[in-house]
Structure 1
Amino acid sequence: MLESAKEQMMRRAMRQVTPSETPVAQALANVIASIEARQMAAVTRLAGAADVDEAAVGHLDADAREEQLLDLADALADDRLEDWWLDEVAAGHLHDPDRAADYLGMDREAWADQIATWGENYRDAAPDHVEGMTDGQIADLHVRETFGVPMREFAAEVVDWSQGEAVEGVLAGHLSSTTSSIHRVAAELED
């Protein structure tokens, strides 16, 4: 009981602080963004020296990255990570990310029920259009038309979404991207 009260007090206190306005958070975001930008510049230089298409490497805007990190901190403090993630991350590759909110972090049983429901709805509304298709194929068609991505990607990004993985993905995303770029350059050199 005492732990719960302490936890509630800490959450209330955290909501009163806007991390992006604190010097510590600003400095930390600046350091992380600067390191990532230097790493990306080094990989770009390596790609150029190896005569590898630099478009495969990527680019990092340090100011935008710093802002993203501060926005993430604010979203966590305000307990609005789901909305922030949909607006800032999912919107980059999903059509209609607000509509995807209904499926964010959905459990497996509910997702299976949703796929079956789409199958039934499409068979009722447009039987000729989906004749011979499985529920999974119909769901893939629906997800592609609604969200602009294959169902497998939608399930991985949205349905299987978890707060911890979302935060990790944003925090470590550029490090992972840089590592992937180094491997692409190495593969080109090995060929």
Structure 2
Amino acid sequence: MNSRYLHNRLIRVVEKVLEGSKLLTDLYIRFFRKMTVDEFSKVFLPEDARVLIIGCGSIPHTAVIVAKEKPWKIVGVDRDKDAVQKARFLVERYGLSDRVSVMEGNGLTFDLSGYDLVVLAHGVEPKDEILKRIAVEVDGETVVLFRTTWDFLDKVYGDEGVPEDFDVVAVFKRPDFIKSVFMKRRVGL
């Protein structure tokens, strides 16, 4: 088993523990708030933008934070049926059901059409295959946010370089050692 898999598994377990407590869930979301707001300040989308988050998890902190800050319509997708139910409950609890929906789905098969921004969460697996699919299916105007670790962690987690089918538009280094790479599909592919 590699380090990235173990890390992703640990995050899923932590979220499942925290989701049982309103206080802990609120603190978890609050922990990510500023870095997520700063991260999304790198992308400029119209007010009626549609955002897809692949791998939203049982605590869809990205969807909740972005929905509180931006007028965009957000769809969170996760392949874990239990995580989807918990995420829906949290979205409703935060009063965001009118702008955030959570669906069961897989990044390898979920319909990617019609989104202005596609976010690939750090813990999504199999990330390379999903990125290859995104490179083929999104249009040249769709922004893709690819979350990976800072470069110095490549020795621990492995190198998740930017796929050759994309041009980097912006990079944001979050304080939690996640590097957010905003990219667009290379024209002519």
Normalised to the residue count of structure 2, the TM-score between the two structures is 0.25
Higher strand residue share: 2
Higher helix residue share: 1
Normalised to the residue count of structure 1, the TM-score between the two structures is 0.25
